[in-house]
Amino acid sequence: MKSLFSMLSFVLLCSVVFSASSMETEHKVDLVKVDKSARKMYLIQGNKIVRWYSISLGANPRGHKLPEGDKRTPEGRYFLDLINEKSSFYRSIRINYPNDTDTKRAAKLGFDPGGQIMIHGQKNGNGPHPSIKRGQDWTDGCIAIDNEKMDEFLSLVRIGTPIDIEW
């Protein structure tokens, strides 16, 4: 009986420790990494990928975003800086594009760099989804994931988290 009690105590202790450690992953993502060429987004904590998502990009995904309207997703190091619960898309979080480098490049080349690049869910409202017309990459330069994945993403990532985007 004593050994059964010890075993049950050990199992209970392990489950409490496991629950506590899994709770620690909430809002502990250190980095979001986007591989545009693979259409994948990874949530990284320390050296470990804790989640990954298949993504859709802008309709012209290859290369760094330059002028507004080019339907490209920017490349480089940015930060997630604002959650928008009243988006035209399910939910969204903004990428701080353009940064100072982007703004200076655009001024030097004489164009508007655009802005409001988001990670977002699916389009709200009735009517056909943009992907029907545009295919896999249907955004105007944003990063799109499924609505359920967007809820999970926002539960794991904080404002200020860096995001590295590359081809």
CATH code of the domain occupying 2-166? 2.40.440.10
Cα separation, 111 vs 1, in Å, equals 78
Q: The whole model's pTM is what?
A: 0.80
Per-residue pLDDT of the chain (167 residues; tens, 9 = 90+): 555 444 444 444 444 444 444 444 455 899 999 999 999 999 999 999 999 999 999 989 999 998 999 999 999 999 999 999 888 899 999 999 999 999 999 999 999 999 999 999 998 876 666 766 667 899 999 999 999 999 999 999 999 999 999 99
Which residues are CB-contacts of 48 (< 8 A; sequence separation ≥ 6)?
A: none
Going from N- to C-terminal start, the domains of the chain cover 2-166
Cα separation, 165 vs 61, in Å, equals 11
Cα separation, 119 vs 153, in Å, equals 10
- In sequence order, what E strands does 55-154 have? 76-84, 92-95, 117-120, 143-144
Positions marked catalytic: 120, 142
Overall residue count recorded for the chain in this entry: 167
